[in-house]
Amino acid sequence: MEIIPQSSVIGAEVRGLDLSRPLDDDTHARLEAAFLEHQVLSFRRQRLTPQQYCEFAASFGRLADYLFVDGMEGYPHITEIIKTETETEGFGSFWHSDSTYLERPPKITLLYAREVPPRGGDTLFADMYRLYDDLSEGLQASLCRLRAINSASAVPRDEDIYQAVKSRNSAARERCATHPVIRRHDQTGRPALYVNGIHTLSFEGMTRAESRPLLEYLFRQVERPEYSFRLRWEADTLAMWDNRCTQHYALNDYHGYRRVMHRIIVEGDEPQALQDF
């Protein structure tokens, strides 16, 4: 197994593994260590059945249903995300960490490319460890004392972002959860920024108007290119990323082409603040 870093801050490509076969304990331990170090791992030229895909994902924790979209028939934990040639809206085309409106947001998201356009459709990932480290000591101290309210409806969007995606639970768009603004990773112990531009409404105990200037400043930092890595998809590429310490952005620049991705999320723990450890 080879681990090839893809940038100076985040992301690595794993070579030499066939994920259709069970991994022995030593290989899995090395893979998990690489995941915790690089935060985003990609595996190219993987030919997986839905069952094999689920088994690999389940080796990292309990699989969770996606609140707003039905899973594939026979495989409820696989969300099929299809953008057709005639659709223009993007699924995940904004900087975010997945489902922070849940009390226990997913710790890992996996995405498996089944059909990809000839160009475009890349995904950007940003390192929230490094962003936190680069903040001033005064701002770090202030943010560590704050909690933020995250909502499933922070940004008004139709449930049917893609017509081919089977939406459900529209009433759950009022789902909210409050989490620490600076989250301590439950495995590495490192602090990371944990607010994002589509789910975070405000700081707890403050109005949205009072919260917005500082939140907007933090959201702009996420967009800085020195924190990011760009994954170029190919058919049969599988990627997995750590939602506890990254954000991601799916580029919507491939109108006129069909794209099919299979998504699985792994259940996480309730986010903890630095002072909770």
Location of structure tokens 């459900």:
168
Strands 228-231 and 123-127: antiparallel
In angstroms, rounded to a whole number, what is the distance separating the alpha carbons of residues 100 and 149? 9
Q: What is the pLDDT of residue 166?
A: 52
Q: Which of 38, 98, 183, 244 is catalytic?
A: 98
The whole-number pLDDT of residue 93 equals: 85
Q: What does the pLDDT read at residue 91?
A: 76
Q: What's the order of all strands across the beta sheet hosting 176-180?
A: 176-180, 147-151, 200-203
Query: What pLDDT is stored for residue 88 in this prediction?
Result: 84
Q: Indicate if 96 belongs to the active site.
A: yes
- The topology (CATH level 3) of 2-270 is Double-stranded beta-helix (3.60.130)
Of the residues 38, 130, 244, 248, only one is catalytic, namely 248
- State which residues of the chain have pLDDT below 50: 156, 158-165
pLDDT at res. 169: 56
Is 263 annotated as catalytic?
yes
- Predicted local distance difference test score (pLDDT) of residue 153: 77
Backbone angles phi, psi at 37, to 5 degrees: -75, -45
What is the C-alpha to C-alpha distance for residues 183 and 189, in angstroms, rounded to an integer?
Answer: 9
Tokens of 197: 């531009």
Could you tell me the CA-to-CA distances from 94 to 18, 188, 200, 244, 246 in Å, in that order? Answer: 32, 27, 13, 17, 13
